[in-house]
Amino acid sequence: MDKMFANVFRSPGKFGIEEVDRPHPGVGEAVIRVTMTTICGTDLHIVRGEYPVKPGLVIGHEPVGVIEEIGPGLSGYQVGDRVLIGAITPCGQCRACLSGHLSQCGHTAGYEAIGGWRFGNTINGAQAQYLRVPYAQANLARIPDELTDEQVVLLADIASTGISGAESGEIKIGDSVVVFALGPIGLCATVGARLEGASLIIGIDSDENRLAMASRLGADVVLDYRYLDVIAEVKRLTGGGADVAIEALGTQQTFENCLRCLRPGGILSSLGVYSGKLQLPYDALAAGIGDYRIVTTLCPGGKERMRRLMEMVKHGRIDLTPLLTHVFPLGRIQEAYNVFGERLDGVIKVAIKP
Ligand SMILES: NC(=O)c1ccc[n+]([C@@H]2O[C@H](COP(=O)([O-])OP(=O)(O)OC[C@H]3O[C@@H](n4cnc5c(N)ncnc54)[C@H](O)[C@@H]3O)[C@@H](O)[C@H]2O)c1
Ligand SMILES: [Zn+2]
Ligand SMILES: [Zn+2]
């Protein structure tokens, strides 16, 4: 069996580069040679043991690469094509997919919660030299020649997710929007809010670097929650409460703050991954009769989503390259995890080059 190098999860706190079998495609599959990938906040949850995956799994779910091998039954692609693949790889054929809920893909049957997230979760992922892509016909998005790997790598997950927070929040032209937490996801939600036509975007975090980046990407006001009552300030700035609040951290506190910042009838669009119990205080919800709407979204995937996002880059509507602050070769991925995980050196996202 031919071999490759990949980042393998062994147990909480134990992971690193190993030599493993190189994948080959089955029916409807393709194998790509990965040319760039990155590390997601969710990978941090995995290596810390906060999100369980099976030992021996190659992790990572944000692949850019070149088609190396094409399995039987795949048409319209050639070896050598440059492709971007979403973090979420829907089958495109199940009830969920055909009803438009691609991220909750039911694996050829009905629905399965989070079922569309396969890479680095239920099958081997992208922090590797080669990656086997399931349901390749629905998931390989050809990269326009004029776009570099750096310009598209963040579209696979954080941009698709962050922007979906604004879409699911149904932001209308003129809406006021508050974004709680300005990690990569919240920063992309800020970009999304601007694209959707928000008149006022308020970003909240404590990290100066990220507050500055939010301003650069479209936030009109940034607030450091350590130094002021952000709920009162959002209410003051919006004349009584924001139309839409986007949660981009996954804690009780930020979720609750989002609710308390909303005007009655406002929409809370939640992107964070929560653990434990999430509670809805009755007073923040106007006793349950304040006409609030709460929506949650898992990163949209599939090749059409990737094509649309790449068109946005190609035509200059979005540019996420300022978020790629560091580059590491695959062989130094543990160092990259440390820099990213400990938020050293002003890091926002790291590019990994196999
Ligand atoms: N819905 C999805 O499909 C999806 C996809 C990817 C990641 N996620 C989740 O999104 C969340 C954010 O991911 P990320 O990579 O941007 O996170 P991150 O850890 O890089 O950033 C979190 C930010 O939150 C800030 N913060 C901490 N406490 C805060 C508070 N009380 N108020 C405001 N800001 C605060 C930090 O300073 C930091 O900048 C995570 O839960 C992640 O698992 C969801
Ligand atoms: Zn992710
Ligand atoms: Zn499906």
Which residues have C-beta within 8 Å of that of residue 21, sequence separation ≥ 6?
Answer: 1, 2, 3, 4
* Cα–Cα distance measured from residue 99 to residue 92, given in angstroms and rounded to the nearest whole number: 10
* Cα–Cα distance measured from residue 181 to residue 43, given in angstroms and rounded to the nearest whole number: 18
Residue 93 CA: which ligand is closest? Answer: 3
Q: What angle do CA 38, 41, 44 make, to 5 degrees?
A: 95
Query: Is the pTM here over 0.95, yes or no?
Result: yes
Distance 204 CA to ligand 3 centre (A): 36
Distance 144 CA to ligand 1 centre (A): 30
Which pair of structure tokens corresponds to residue 28? Answer: 């409807």
Q: Which residues line the pocket of ligand 1, CB cutoff 6 A?
A: 40-42, 157, 161, 180-186, 204-207, 210, 225, 248-250, 253-254, 271-273, 297-299
Distance 43 CA to ligand 2 centre (A): 7
Residue 256 CA: which ligand is closest? Answer: 1
Atom 22, ligand 1: which residue's CA is nearest? 183
pLDDT tens sequence for the chain (354 residues): 799 999 999 999 999 999 999 999 999 999 999 999 999 999 999 999 989 999 999 999 999 999 999 999 999 999 999 999 999 999 999 999 999 999 999 987 789 999 999 999 999 999 999 999 999 999 999 999 999 999 999 999 999 999 999 999 999 999 999 999 999 999 999 999 999 999 999 999 999 999 999 999 999 999 999 999 999 999 999 999 999 999 999 999 999 999 999 999 999 999 999 888 999 999 999 999 999 999 999 999 999 999 999 999 999 999 999 999 999 999 999 999 999 999 999 999 999 999
Residue 94 CA: which ligand is closest? Answer: 3
- Best of 249, 269, 270 to mutate for ligand 1, by most ligand atoms within 8 A of CB? 249
The three state secondary structure string of the chain is CCEEEEEEEEECCEEEEEEEECCCCCCCCEEEEEEEEECCHHHHHHHCCCCCCCCCCECCCCCEEEEEEECCCCCCCCCCCEEECCCCCCCCCCHHHHCCCHHHECCCCCECCCCCCCECCCECCCCECEEEECCHHHHCEECCCCCCHHHHHHHCCHHHHHHHHHHHCCCCCCCEEEEECCCHHHHHHHHHHHHCCCCEEEEEECCHHHHHHHHHHCCCEEEECCCCCHHHHHHHHHCCCEEEEEECCCCHHHHHHHHHHEEEEEEEEECCCCCCCCCCCCCCCHHHCCCCEEEECCCCCCHHHHHHHHHHHHCCCCCCHHHEEEEEEHHHHHHHHHHHHCCCCCCCEEEEEC
* Cα–Cα distance measured from residue 341 to residue 326, given in angstroms and rounded to the nearest whole number: 13
Residue with tokens 């909480």: 12
Distance 115 CA to ligand 3 centre (A): 8
Q: Which amino acid is at 165?
A: G
Distance 149 CA to ligand 3 centre (A): 27
